[in-house]
Amino acid sequence: MSQKGIVSSQKVENFVLNSLFFIFASVVGIYLLYVFGSEGISNDFAGYIGLFERLSYSSFNESFVREITEPGYLLIVCILSKSLSPETIFFLAGLFPLLYKINLLRRIDYGVGAVLFYFLLFLHIQESNQIRGALAGCFILLSLFLDNHHPSRYLILGAAAALFHYSGIIIFAFFLFSKTNSNLLALIGLFVVSLAWNTLLTSVSAFNFLLHQASGTELGVTFTNPIFWLQISIIISCLFIYRDLTYYQKKGFHLILLGAATYIFFADTPVIAHRIRELSLLGLFPLIFTRYTSITLSSLYNYLASLLIAVYTFSFTFGEVLGYFSIF
């Protein structure tokens, strides 16, 4: 067989293997989505079902005034709610972002590991609960794997993501990073935004409707959170090898850094602090699952700390699943 024939055969084989993996991962993901997204397990299930039921008999204009949620997301589910049941919408709202992320992650250097890691760390948090954040996460993941050409793409992606969940505005930080290659400027900007946010909530009565974002005291920010400190340890570890990181890995570090900073700066607004910190862990995918220029103690530590975060998070949620099904 000629060299050209061998190369062609290898491409076909790789295509088949990649397709089979995508199908297998999708089936596993759908099953996990069904389990973790079930009523009684998903913390956000009841709230979203109530929203979809209200939208089924309301116009978009009425819903826009009444519901405090992002307009892009509201428009889509308002249309779907007229023909689909609330439970179906909830499932589909998790399914499509999940399939997109599986397809994206399987293409990076360590794609198999990245997809499995996503199942452990994110599927039960996003696609099974925070379905608006799951959709915004698609834009964040895509932005993490863009090259440094045409930085204006980050502005477009950030604006699009914010239509579905406010956390998407964090993509704007990549625009500044691509222009300056500086982590400090984004930290300063985030601190200023946090001061402005707290001022609006406490001093301007017209913004009292935003106080719902400070609700959820059961999620109260605590600095004994083990995941937060593991995240901090990864940030410190990366500082020793920062110059050797690739552009994609530096963006991953940048996102993780901003997530930890948000957890601190927005400590009085627990919902925002938790949501942004959780989504910032998407930065682990370019940081951990793309090739390092060389293997160091810091890179090995990053692998270990990331695994601990994923296992701890998944085991906590899986314990809830076992507890729920054990009553039957």
Q: What is the pLDDT along the chain (328 residues), one digit of tens a residue?
A: 555 555 566 777 777 888 899 999 999 999 989 888 876 678 888 889 998 999 888 888 888 777 778 888 889 999 999 999 999 999 999 999 999 999 999 999 999 999 999 999 999 889 999 899 999 999 999 999 998 888 999 999 999 999 999 889 999 999 999 999 899 999 999 999 999 888 877 765 545 545 555 555 446 788 888 999 999 999 999 999 999 999 999 999 999 999 999 999 998 888 889 999 999 999 999 999 999 888 899 999 999 999 999 999 888 777 666 655 554 4
State the pLDDT at residue 217. 46
Residues 6 or more apart from 55 whose CB is under 8 A from it?
Answer: 63, 67, 74, 77, 78, 81
Give the sign of the dihedral formed by CA 187, CA 155, CA 137, CA 81.
positive
DSSP structure class, residue 293: S
State the pLDDT at residue 250. 96
State the pLDDT at residue 232. 97
Pairwise CA distance, residues 171 & 173, whole Å: 5
The CA-based angle 155-160-166, given to 5 degrees, is 95
Residues 6 or more apart from 134 whose CB is under 8 A from it?
Answer: 93, 94, 97, 98, 126, 127
Listed in sequence order, the DSSP H helices in the chain are 3-36, 45-56, 60-66, 71-80, 86-105, 111-118, 131-144, 152-162, 172-180, 184-203, 226-239, 247-265, 270-280, 284-289, 297-325
Instruction: Tell me if 97 sits within 8 A of 285, measured CB to CB.
Output: no
State the pLDDT at residue 328. 45
State the pLDDT at residue 42. 82
